[in-house]
């Protein structure tokens, strides 16, 4: 039997690569044939899934201070992960972040640097941002947009939020108060007018334009193609072919709930596997009761207890995979 390990990260515990490794280890020990395809949806983990960092550049962080941003450049293709450049974690989390001042400037600086280093294709994974600046910081830092003509600029998004809904949807998660959300809403509204006046482009109703605090909308001004992050990554790594050649797919993430079926990795894997009638087994840290009947799934917390699920995540995953293969082998 051929088993494809195709998980997302377990946020706070394991990267997608580490989860994949744990699944493959258990599969191989059980005598079946494992294949690995760690996944992401355009958010955190995108860089690692698309080959990993091979460069580090100093740019402006989300709080305005310098950060050492890891990114990738290979075969004239650059991969930039916003979380590692203008991310909320770099700002100290929502408690320390200044949602009115947080900037996407560093992302723009890194895009410009990638261009100057010869990139002809630039992939930007947009999840995990600290800012709600509508991409203005990045757009200014990119320099003259004429330089990007002929460059394939791709913004991989993990949400479909429109530009003007960005603050209402995400700003509080970035530390904003209700009053600050109102201010950010007004600023985004004004920014749509500025963009239309200066660039002749409307970003108001562009699907995904509100990703990363409107950074997606700003990149759209620069000619970026806004794409569904999961589907883009799946196509980049040839996920459909891997599933077609497998007898079972094992996927997973830290928490399985209704949002997991709104364009995230789990829903994408299930959608791809369904095309080829390949069964999917989902392992998650925690599982919401509202989704337990949607997929074949098992919770680490429910099975092993919260403490062990967090402290021995890899071992718990290995054990669940081993038990499932034993059950199928009977």
Domain 2-38+253-329 has CATH 3.40.50.1360: no
Beta strands 55-60; 66-74: pairing state? antiparallel
CATH architecture for the domain at 46-230: Alpha-Beta Complex (3.90)
Residue 40 backbone dihedrals phi, psi, to 5 degrees:
-150, 170
In the numeric block, which tokens belong to residue 296? Answer: 């074949």
pLDDT digits (tens, 9 = 90+) for 202-258: 999 899 999 999 999 999 999 999 999 999 999 999 999 999 999 999 999 999 999
Q: Do the domains 2-38+253-329 and 46-230 sit in the same CATH topology, yes or no?
A: no
- For the chain, domain boundaries: 2-38+253-329, 46-230
Taking only the tens of pLDDT, the chain with its 330 residues reads 999 999 999 988 999 999 999 999 999 999 999 999 999 999 899 999 999 999 999 999 999 999 999 999 999 999 999 999 999 999 999 999 999 999 999 999 999 999 999 999 999 999 999 999 999 999 999 999 999 999 999 999 989 999 999 999 999 999 999 999 999 999 999 999 999 999 999 999 899 999 999 999 999 999 999 999 999 999 999 999 999 999 999 999 999 999 898 879 999 999 999 999 999 999 999 999 989 888 999 999 999 999 999 999 999 999 999 999 999 998
Write out pLDDT tens, residues 9-34.
998 899 999 999 999 999 999 999 99
């Amino acid at each position: 039997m051929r088993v494809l390990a195709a998980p997302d990260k377990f946020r706070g515990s394991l990267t997608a690569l580490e989860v994949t490794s744990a699944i493959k280890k258990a599969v191989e020990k059980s005598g079946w044939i494992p294949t690995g395809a760690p996944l992401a949806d355009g958010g955190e983990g995108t860089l690692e899934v698309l080959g990993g960092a091979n460069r580090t550049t100093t740019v402006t962080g989300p709080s305005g201070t310098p950060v050492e941003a890891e990114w990738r450049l290979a075969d004239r293709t650059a991969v930039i992960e916003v979380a590692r450049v203008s991310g909320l974690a770099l700002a100290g989390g929502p408690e320390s972040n200044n949602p009115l001042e947080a900037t996407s400037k560093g992302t723009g600086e890194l895009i410009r640097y990638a261009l100057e280093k010869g990139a002809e294709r630039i992939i930007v994974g947009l999840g995990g941002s600290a800012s709600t600046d509508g991409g203005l910081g990045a757009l200014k830092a990119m320099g003259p947009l004429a330089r990007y003509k002929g460059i394939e600029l791709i913004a991989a998004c993990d949400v479909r939020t429109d530009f003007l809904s960005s603050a209402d949807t995400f700003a509080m998660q970035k530390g904003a108060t209700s009053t600050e959300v109102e201010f950010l809403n007004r600023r985004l509204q004004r920014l749509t007018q500025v963009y239309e006046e200066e660039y002749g482009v409307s970003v108001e109703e562009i699907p995904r334009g509100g990703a990363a605090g409107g950074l997606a909308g700003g990149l759209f001004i620069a000619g970026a193609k806004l794409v569904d992050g999961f589907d883009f990554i799946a196509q980049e790594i040839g996920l459909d072919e891997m599933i077609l050649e497998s007898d079972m797919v094992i996927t997973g993430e830290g928490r399985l709930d209704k949002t997991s079926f709104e364009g995230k990795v789990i829903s994408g894997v299930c959608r791809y596997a369904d095309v080829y009638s390949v069964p999917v087994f989902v392992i998650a840290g925690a599982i919401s009761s509202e989704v337990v009947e949607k997929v074949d799934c098992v919770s680490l917390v429910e099975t092993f207890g919260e403490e062990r699920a967090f402290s021995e995540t890899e071992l718990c995953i290995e054990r669940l995979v081993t038990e499932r293969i034993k059950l199928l082998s009977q």
